[in-house]
Structure 1
Amino acid sequence: MKLIRFISLFCSLVVLFPVSMMAAPANPTPVVFTQKDGSTVTIRQFGDEHYHFTKTIDGILVVGDGNGNYVYADAKGNPSGFIAKDAAERTPDELKFLESLNQSEVHSKHKALNGVRFPETLAPSVIKPAALLRANKRVSSFVTGDRYFPVMLLSTDDAEAFDSAKVYKKLNKKGYSEDGHVGSMRDYFIESSGGKFKPTFDVYPISLPMIFGEYRNERTLITSAIDKLVEREDFKKRAEKYEEECPFILMHPLSNEEASAYNADYYSHQYTLRALMKSVYTKDGYTFNNYAFVSQKDEDTGKLNRLATIAHEFSHVLGLYDLYGVDAEGYATVGPLPFDLMALGTRNGGGRFPPTFSAFERESMGWMLLDEVFPDSLLRPHMLEPLSEMHAYSITNPKHGDEYYVIEYRPAVGFDSKISESEYSGIQGKNGVFVWYVDYDETAFYSNYPNSDPNNLHIDVMQVLDSKNTYYADFSYKREKGKTEIPGIFDLKVYGDSLVCFVLTQEEGVKACPKPKPSAIGAVRSSAPFAPVQMRVLEGMLTVQAPVPGSKRLKIVDAMGVCIQDIPFEGESVQVNVSSWARGNVLVMVEAGGKRVSSRFITVR
């Protein structure tokens, strides 16, 4: 069966097309905000970068006045002259003003003025997985290998920046563990990519001469910071490590709430200078375009912002989409909420444990291959390693190749260990075997709204299975009345954090999936100095990608223990035509330097 599932080609095209502004949903937890006159008001924020708004605790719409205050919105949705206060502190004149307003109409007027602030444009392009091997050669090195990105840590005349050494450690230090973290942002992307993407975030303190409120628009703030950056000798010495159109992170010194009181656009987001300014920005021979705009200060704690928030915005720079949907009140309610960084995984474990990229996202980035499951393998057990080993299955609608299920295993380890502890949604996840549903729709993903319609989600976690929940059926499809012969997962067996085994029919239980011995099965661990080995059978060809240095050997052993192939190779990949082989499971092993670095059972059709 020829797959026509789409795989994202990011990076090289990110810089060719302006993209819609993207960000995480606002946190609606009440926050006590201090006005410039010293008074306070308790506010809540809703929505995201496409449309976000702020209300008092009793539901009055408030807006920034451009001077660092929140004021009541007037009948037209614009700033009034009344500084916002909590209900018990309002004067008779303020109460009279508010009684004259219909808050529902005020909100509608405000949305009409601000709801289309950033018009939708094309997100990064995509390609079809049938050409995956060719595609991998075309994917920009922007998301592979050792890459370097400048981070501008801003301070202004009235707002100090966080300590740059502290920020650098949070972004880069291996095994970063301060304040209960399980790793740095660099650790997060190395883990999510299986070692294929190793970013370093160079932190540059940038001191701007005016007070924050005098930088009235995003263009002025960013270009003023860039002008300072390119004057730094340490930047000049490292500039050759950056991309030609340099992607960057700008961290301003306030929280989202504080910054939004000056400019509604100053909400953490991703954008491009080409879209913002109608051109890239060039200064002293250096060119800048794609960026993440992030607050330094967490609105809840006042501490350095959550690792997950920064990682979410930077993931947009890489090209990933938001996967949540919001209700009429701007509250994220649908999608893979606690399971994905691009949804509400930004709130897992206090924002210190962003869930690693899903198999769907890893395949989209060109970091892994999915093993397709075919109907003729129903009677054989399927062994699934943890997602950290870059292993997952796909089951595709035979009538529409862009609609499919993804099966991945996530034990409660590392960044994924707090999926059951989200602070935002009220919907808690759990660890185990995730069954994702993907209905790839070009228009929905291009517009960064794949889950805008709660009745027609394009990607979601449909079920999570563990040893106490061993049954999931009905791999059904919506498009073209597709119906696969693979009914569901049955008789799931869990072997610690290293392996799960299941069958796809009620006719047979798991009988031939013995508990693995240490190192008997598994790709190279993500802690190794190179990326995991990946294997896939597609259209009669076994492809093995082994980014392991030196001479290697590919060995294939049949069910009787007989070695049927022994192939030496030098490069990073090798292919074997298996179209004429007998159907069944074979053990594929890769050796380097006389030692086994990977072994995996695969199914030959």
Structure 2
Amino acid sequence: MKKFLYHIIIVTALLTGTLQSVYAVRAYPYPIQVKQPDGSVLTIQKHGDEFLNWTTSGGRLVKQGADGFYYLASFTPQGTIEATAMRVSERSMPMGTRSVTTPAVAVERARQLRAKFLRNTARTKASSSISMGSKRFLVLLVQFNDLYFSVSNSNLAFTRMLNQEGYSENGGTGSVRDYYYENSSGAFAPEFDVIGPITLSKSVRYYGANKEDGGEMYERSQEMVIEAAQLARQQYGVNFSQYDNDGDGIVDNVFVFFAGHNEAEGGPDYTIWPHAWNVYYENVVYDGVRLSSYACASELRGHQGTTMAGIGTYCHEFGHVLGMPDFYDTDGEENGWARGLASFSLMSGGNYNNYGRTPPYLNIEERNLLGWYNKYPMQFTESKEYFLSPVTDNACYIHHTSNNNEYFLFEYREKKGWDYHLPGTGLLIYHVDKSNNKIGGITANDRWASWDGINAYANHQCFDLIEAVYPESAIQHEQQVPFPGSTNNTSFTPNTLPAFVDHAGYETGIGLTDIKNLGNKAAFTVIVQEATNLEFVGRVTNVSEQPIQGASVAVFYDSESVRDLHSAGAVEGRPVLQKVSSVPLQSQLLETTTDAQGNYTLDCDFEEGKYIIQVTAEGYVSASEEVFVIAPGLIRKDFSLCQSLDYEEGVLKKHSEWDGYWRVGFKDPQYPVYGAVGFSAEELEPYVGDTLQTIQFIMYGSTASEVGVFVLFDKEVIFERELSEYVFNAPVTVDISDAEITIPEGKLVRIGYYVVGIDDKWPLAADEGPMVYLGGYAAQSMHYLIEGEPWPEDFNNIIISATVKQAEEAEEQPEDDALFALGYYLMPIDTGRFQAGDQLLLKLNDVPFVTHVERPLAVQWFVNEIPYETGDTISLEAGSYIIKSVLSFEDYTQTIVREIFVE
């Protein structure tokens, strides 16, 4: 008997690019003194973020009770925080007595929550059009039925804080508009329309309620935004269409200032944690535009009192709206505690500078993300002394490593303007990784594209601020971060700590010495390491990042390639001087094999021209890459090889046998679900020119409003068809031979199906794994599937396959043999009408060289329900015939029935 395993897996927004994404500020990073109901003062420290947060006092875990007092607490086996009956006080909680370790179950739950709400690339790309020019944004002041605004004339106060040039009330050093106008060098001039206060129907405890595990109930925050928007339209006549700055039919953002304090800064547990999310799928449409992203922050700063909030948290959350991700460690201690960019970045911890009133200048990388840095950074061209002016001049240096899209940025920060409240000044050195290096199973490039834990891994931060103190854990205060800093670290070379090397440990070709902070600029000496030969290095792994030992790596030289010689004196429109060599094409220079760690090293004399690195390994698809070399030095190229597709005649599939199904979905059946399997150009080489015949899949559920299949070539929809007939919980085979889709050369091919209005939360069937290369995709729209990456490896392989007809096959019965390869027996009978006197051959489809399909032990034929035992041919007479074949296998039978008509 076959066993079916129904293992529920939720596909997250990482896969789909859906707009359900939460971004919030990290917890206030400094000790907080809170007053308890009896008047006593207790020092607490907040930790974590919206997904997993906890409170300590004296290093001990504490929890605020319903009575307002703090009690000693502990983590339960389920990872929730449970208060004891022991009330704490300052005397009973000496500082630093012990540390708190969050249990693995709580960390895993937080990881799943973060995965569920990952930011998608579509949001960041769409944001670029709203971060330029003069744009209007909507701000709603929201109070609760039991908590009103404390700030007098709150509408005027927040209008000034957001818009007023030179804003200085409440200790401010400028408005939000001032901040973004200056950081964009005048390219962006936002205007904020403040509406309210608006009184909601429920209490602050309702909208700010936490789940049992300490996480926010963001569904309540969505309710807050939707109700506030409705009341703004009813009570103030707000026309939402004027806040669709890019004309895409979606309100660019709604920002909510809510009355009272917030949880991130030590407010009561029932207050709201500032965050950015969306209500897109709530389908709220006003004035012809749809509500989507929102962000929120509190009226007051800190944990108590009536001091109005500064602009810092607003600027941070608004930064998400414009297209900037978080640069702090978003998963806490799950993958080691990373410092991120701390107080030196708005998108890390800088929103708290000067008690939230003076966020720091945006760094060059942040400006570039928003389209506000339109020149190329300066580079180190020779060994000499260099000078670097402040970031306010948009000045920086860049130095590339030998790994594509991994580089170092150099900035100077001084205590002026928005940087006046930085903890230290000097040279800041950033190590930026947007390459194909994999961190936690995801490439650095993809982490940037999806805003997924850019600085979550302590041992490999993708936007790492290189501190002047080593190791990072030894930093005691942030004055030690810049170079030379309070520790007077004046060198950054391959031999210092920290070391000037890339993430693979390779030297980058230069070093910095004699670093000085001159008060208004930095000075340092660059030593360029002179090289006379070429060194090719790298690592060869499989797609699961496991090293491949014994892979063959060969380097070919092709100096016959033509290269344009550009110079400062080149004139557009005139012929460009070119250089060509007469050395024979692609002469092999070197060859080696990888070691146990998958590493290789090859040295050769330098010769300018094109080099081709080719990697082959048994059982894997070969890979190669071209490199044009104009100077000696280190050439680093890593390769990730995918396993060769087991070639089956006429069959395309990635999944294993269907002995047990895993189910994949979005846990919400109201949205469409798209699933697909991918085949790389290398895997499809044996199939090029073949024609797709059928698509087969399994979906779970019992009803759906629409089901269809599709085929993608790269990012182009080649074929899409809605189905009129389909079944659930069993294989569905769709004949697409009439579409005449031919397997192309050099393209990624994805084959899939979609379901709309299905009544099952997890409709996609998957096998038991392990996942193979491109084994599964999922999304909630065709657009996000096209732009998306394969789902995580632990989701295994989606149950989708296809059959193909070889280019040289005859036209008769094009799919019978191919279906046999999938385990389906058929009668290859001509579907046309027969004539009286014709001979009908009784046979089943069978392909002898397909050996994995089980053959029947016996076959019994029936004609018009009467057993037929007089040979394998029938002499036909006029009329209709029911031809039936019963196949007996070891533990089951299969029946095939065909009807024919004889004239």
TM-score normalized by structure 2? 0.45
CA distance in 1, matches of 2:502, 2:100: 37
Go from structure 1 to structure 2 and tell me whether the alpha carbon gap of 1:69 and 1:201 turns closer, same or farther (over 3 Å shift): farther
The equivalent residue for 1:473 is 493
Q: Secondary structure at the match of 1:363?
A: helix
2:508 is matched by which residue type in structure 1? T
Alignment of 1:80-479 (within 5 A): 85-87=87-89, 116-125=112-121, 140-161=128-149, 162=151, 163-205=154-196, 206-215=198-207, 217-233=220-236, 235-236=238-239, 239=242, 242=245, 244-246=249-251, 247-257=253-263, 261-262=269-270, 266-274=272-280, 278-300=281-303, 302=305, 303-325=307-329, 328=333, 334-369=339-374, 371-372=376-377, 377-379=381-383, 382=386, 384-398=388-402, 400-420=403-423, 430-440=424-434, 441-445=444-448, 446-462=450-466, 463=468, 464-465=482-483, 471-474=491-494, 476-479=500-503
C-alpha displacement of 1:355: 1.0
Go from structure 1 to structure 2 and tell me whether the alpha carbon gap of 1:61 and 1:381 turns closer, same or farther (over 3 Å shift): closer
Unaligned runs of 5+ in 2: 1-13, 93-98, 210-219, 435-443, 469-481, 530-563, 578-630, 632-903
Q: Secondary structure at the match of 1:46?
A: strand
Q: Which has the larger radius of gyration?
A: 2
1:250, 1:292 within 8 Å by CA — same for their partners in 2? yes
Q: Secondary structure at the match of 1:159?
A: coil
Go from structure 1 to structure 2 and tell me whether the alpha carbon gap of 1:179 and 1:334 turns closer, same or farther (over 3 Å shift): same
Q: Secondary structure at the match of 2:260?
A: coil
1:30, 1:43 within 8 Å by CA — same for their partners in 2? yes
C-alpha displacement of 1:234: 5.8
C-alpha displacement of 1:142: 1.0
1:309, 1:346 within 8 Å by CA — same for their partners in 2? yes
Query: What whole-Å deviation, never above 9, does each CA across 1:385-434 have from its counterpart, x for those lacking one?
Result: 32222222211113x122101112222210111111xxxxxxxxx21232
CA distance in 2, matches of 1:68, 1:281: 37
C-alpha displacement of 1:47: 0.4
The alignment status of 1:48 with 2:49, answered yes or no, reads yes
2:192 is matched by which residue type in structure 1? F
Go from structure 1 to structure 2 and tell me whether the alpha carbon gap of 1:228 and 1:69 turns closer, same or farther (over 3 Å shift): farther
Go from structure 1 to structure 2 and tell me whether the alpha carbon gap of 1:452 and 1:250 turns closer, same or farther (over 3 Å shift): same
CA distance in 1, matches of 2:145, 2:454: 41
Q: Secondary structure at the match of 2:226?
A: helix
Query: What whole-Å deviation, never above 9, does each CA across 1:80-110 have from its counterpart, x for those lacking one?
Result: 79788435999xxxxxxxxxxxx97996666
Go from structure 1 to structure 2 and tell me whether the alpha carbon gap of 1:416 and 1:433 turns closer, same or farther (over 3 Å shift): same
Identify the range of structure 1 (55-64 vs 355-364) with the bigger mean alpha-carbon deviation: 55-64
Alignment of 1:17-28 (within 5 A): 17-18=18-19, 20-27=21-28
Go from structure 1 to structure 2 and tell me whether the alpha carbon gap of 1:80 and 1:318 turns closer, same or farther (over 3 Å shift): same
C-alpha displacement of 1:358: 0.8
Go from structure 1 to structure 2 and tell me whether the alpha carbon gap of 1:114 and 1:141 turns closer, same or farther (over 3 Å shift): closer
CA distance in 2, matches of 1:261, 1:492: 46
The equivalent residue for 1:32 is 34
Higher relative contact order (CA 8 A, sep 6+): 1
Counterpart among 475, 485, 505 of residue 527 in structure 2: 505
CA distance in 2, matches of 1:577, 1:172: 50
1:296 is matched by which residue type in structure 2? E
Q: Secondary structure at the match of 2:292?
A: strand
Q: Secondary structure at the match of 1:348?
A: helix
1:192, 1:357 within 8 Å by CA — same for their partners in 2? yes
Go from structure 1 to structure 2 and tell me whether the alpha carbon gap of 1:41 and 1:410 turns closer, same or farther (over 3 Å shift): closer
Go from structure 1 to structure 2 and tell me whether the alpha carbon gap of 1:237 and 1:39 turns closer, same or farther (over 3 Å shift): same
C-alpha displacement of 1:331: 11
Query: What whole-Å deviation, never above 9, does each CA across 1:482-522 have from its counterpart, x for those lacking one?
Result: 5433x13355677763x556552389xxxxxxxxxxxxxxx
CA distance in 2, matches of 1:148, 1:576: 42
CA distance in 2, matches of 1:139, 1:227: 25
Go from structure 1 to structure 2 and tell me whether the alpha carbon gap of 1:42 and 1:86 turns closer, same or farther (over 3 Å shift): farther
1:488, 1:504 within 8 Å by CA — same for their partners in 2? yes
Go from structure 1 to structure 2 and tell me whether the alpha carbon gap of 1:85 and 1:482 turns closer, same or farther (over 3 Å shift): same
Go from structure 1 to structure 2 and tell me whether the alpha carbon gap of 1:410 and 1:211 turns closer, same or farther (over 3 Å shift): same
2:55 is matched by which residue type in structure 1? T
Alignment of 1:2-13 (within 5 A): none
Alignment of 1:502-581 (within 5 A): 502-505=524-527
2:185 is matched by which residue type in structure 1? G
1:298, 1:306 within 8 Å by CA — same for their partners in 2? yes
CA distance in 1, matches of 2:170, 2:19: 37
1:431 is matched by which residue type in structure 2? T
C-alpha displacement of 1:224: 1.0
C-alpha displacement of 1:281: 2.8
Q: Secondary structure at the match of 1:395?
A: strand
2:45, 2:55 within 8 Å by CA — same for their partners in 1? yes
Question: What is the root-mean-square deviation in Å for CA atoms of aligned residues?
Answer: 4.5
1:41, 1:84 within 8 Å by CA — same for their partners in 2? no
1:146, 1:199 within 8 Å by CA — same for their partners in 2? yes
CA distance in 1, matches of 2:143, 2:322: 26
1:20, 1:448 within 8 Å by CA — same for their partners in 2? no
1:381, 1:501 within 8 Å by CA — same for their partners in 2? yes
CA distance in 1, matches of 2:326, 2:445: 14
C-alpha displacement of 1:348: 2.2
Count of residue pairs brought into register by the alignment = 471
CA distance in 2, matches of 1:579, 1:300: 66
CA distance in 1, matches of 2:19, 2:86: 37
Go from structure 1 to structure 2 and tell me whether the alpha carbon gap of 1:338 and 1:331 turns closer, same or farther (over 3 Å shift): farther
Query: What whole-Å deviation, never above 9, does each CA across 1:158-187 have from its counterpart, x for those lacking one?
Result: 212232211222222111122433211111
Query: What whole-Å deviation, never above 9, does each CA across 1:88-134 have from its counterpart, x for those lacking one?
Result: 999xxxxxxxxxxxx9799666656666444345434399xxxxxxx
Unaligned runs of 5+ in 1: 1-12, 91-102, 128-134, 421-429, 508-538, 543-555, 557-563, 568-574, 581-604
Go from structure 1 to structure 2 and tell me whether the alpha carbon gap of 1:476 and 1:38 turns closer, same or farther (over 3 Å shift): closer
Q: Secondary structure at the match of 2:60?
A: coil
Counterpart among 451, 475, 488 of residue 511 in structure 2: 488
